[in-house]
Amino acid sequence: MFDDLSILVTGGTGSFGRKFTETLLREYHPRKLIIFSRGELKQHEMRQLFPDEGDSPMRYFIGDVRDRERLSRAFNDVDIVIHAAALKQVPACEYNPFEAVQTNILGARNVIDAAIDHGVKKVMAISTDKAVNPINLYGATKLCAEKMFIQANSYSGAEGTKFSVCRYGNVIGSRGSVIPLFAKQRKSGTITVTDPRMTRFWITLDQGVNFVAKCTILMKGGEIFVPQIPSAKLTDLAEAIAPGCVIKNIGIRPGEKLHEILLSEDESRHAVELDGMYLILPTHPWWKMENWTEARCLPEGFCYSSDANRQWLSQEELRRFDQ
């Protein structure tokens, strides 16, 4: 699927972008792999790992998804776009709301317009469980972005750019993950959790990258792909990462939920199941159900939430997160 194609990753110097680059270079032979991001230092550091010299397919492009003209320049002769650029720290988005809107919503619009204008074949946008029934600004901006990417299929037409979304939970060890925080706190003998009842979905960086790559190959345009991934209680994670430490309850923070949802009851009415994943299908008139005739319908009232999951991580599996 990715051989001999030109692939661009927005936010390409982040945790996802680095792992995606490593995976793509190891398993495929892209014609070009373009890293689009705004940080010159991170690009310099990434260039040491993945040089752009000689016959390397790597290209590094400094730019911001807020800059429509720069995006347009970068999207020239691009076949596939993986849109991973976002402001994703919940407290930072709450404190800087317009900045979150500028990047996560208006930036999404710029990606859509540039992709259609340049005839990009496929765009896969990365989303989050916080986009479902959002209670914080980050989740609200990602919900808006999801709606925009799905509806963009009606703008591009049957033969134009295909847009889809991958939505998944907390990435183990990514920037802002609670695991490095627990590892740091255990030196003091006290671990802080916001609420002992809290549960979360968890996915490894490798799993997230492989899921996005697989769904980019499978996508027809219009789907939201949701992986079937395990849950864990935050207190179980704290005990696994810092055994013997005191667990201190500091109270839930603004914009936090006790439990996350990857697929709501309302969405499940137009969602289906495949092996290892759920697909939320659009309800727009341009959608053709025959795209996924092999998929299975979900039971009435189904909701995929972190507290009612069928898969739970064991203590041994949780301990591996710290390795």
* pLDDT of 290 over the 70 cut: no
Tens digits of per-residue pLDDT, 107-165? Answer: 999 999 999 999 999 999 999 999 999 999 999 999 999 999 999 999 998 889 999 99
Domain boundaries, the chain: 6-171+203-229+262-304
Yes or no: say if 223 and 281 are a contact pair by the CB < 8 Å rule: yes
* pLDDT of 216 over the 70 cut: yes
Which residues carry out catalysis? 130
Of 200, 204, 206, 182, which Cα lies nearest the Cα of 192?
182
Global confidence as pTM:
0.94
Tens digits of per-residue pLDDT, 241-256? Answer: 888 899 999 998 888 8
Percent of the chain with pLDDT over 90: 78
- Which architecture characterizes domain 6-171+203-229+262-304 according to CATH? 3-Layer(aba) Sandwich (3.40)
